[in-house]
Amino acid sequence: MEDAEAVPLIELRGVTKVYGQGQAAMAALRGIDLRIGRGEFVALMGPSGSGKSTTMNILGCLDTPDSGSYRFQGIEVGSLSRGERALLRRNYIGFVFQGFNLLARTSALENVEMPLVYRGVPAARRHEQARAALAAVGLTQWESHTSAELSGGQQQRVAIARAMVTEPMLLLADEPTGNLDTARGREVMELLCRFNRDQGLTVVMVTHEADMAADASRVVRFRDGLVEWDEAAGEGG
């Protein structure tokens, strides 16, 4: 039996994805291979339409390949039912988006609690875990504030706390600094790096910003639905 530590957290083999049919068909992925080990911080880069966001959706079980294999901890995700993929997503994966995706008239604490509500965690335990997650992103004093009362950087930190409150194995961050100024973006990157370094969290981040990608341990560049290159950060030129 294969050593569990030797099995990559994520493995894509020959993954393809086509949207549309006939003349309107567009090949988003043309057969990509990608392995990501536990505890890595990987930045996905490339021009619009290169396949990086489609890859992210497949990794997050929000979409499925047309062909090829996606294994998570050695388990073939394509063999799972829709319900089982939803459980995988809920129990092992956290998401951070460019647009924050917070509930507008809901407090920071309630936003962070939402994934725990879906898990059926009792209220007292939810409050405790959500407060700890907000403390971890430096927002202890902002628990009762709604999204409208928070800056963009604070909203993204709430979103990170929401993603981390379930203690995921994998964090998928889609342009997490895209709506922020440089200073706030740097704060968000420092948080992601800290969780990666201190908790061994595996982070996969889509970004257009080379200075943000430089914080990752690896950069995978996509072009025309293929992996153009895959190197340690800073080596791509």
196-209 pLDDT, tens digit per residue, is 999 999 999 999 99
Q: Is domain 4-232 annotated with CATH 3.40.1380.10?
A: no
- Dihedral class, residue 36 (left if φ above 0, else alpha if ψ from -120 to 50, else beta): beta
pLDDT tens digits, 108-150: 999 999 999 988 999 999 999 999 999 999 999 999 999 999 9
What is the per-residue pLDDT for 100? 87
Residue 191 phi/psi, 5-degree rounding, is -65, -50
For residue 47, CA distances in Å to 29, 92, 197, 208 come to 14, 29, 28, 8
What is the per-residue pLDDT for 23? 86
pLDDT tens digits, 55-99: 999 999 999 999 999 999 999 999 999 999 999 999 999 999 988
- pLDDT grade, residue 3 (50/70/90)? low
Which residues 6+ apart lie within 8 Å of 104 measured at CB?
A: 146, 147, 148
Confirm whether pTM is higher than 0.75. Answer: yes
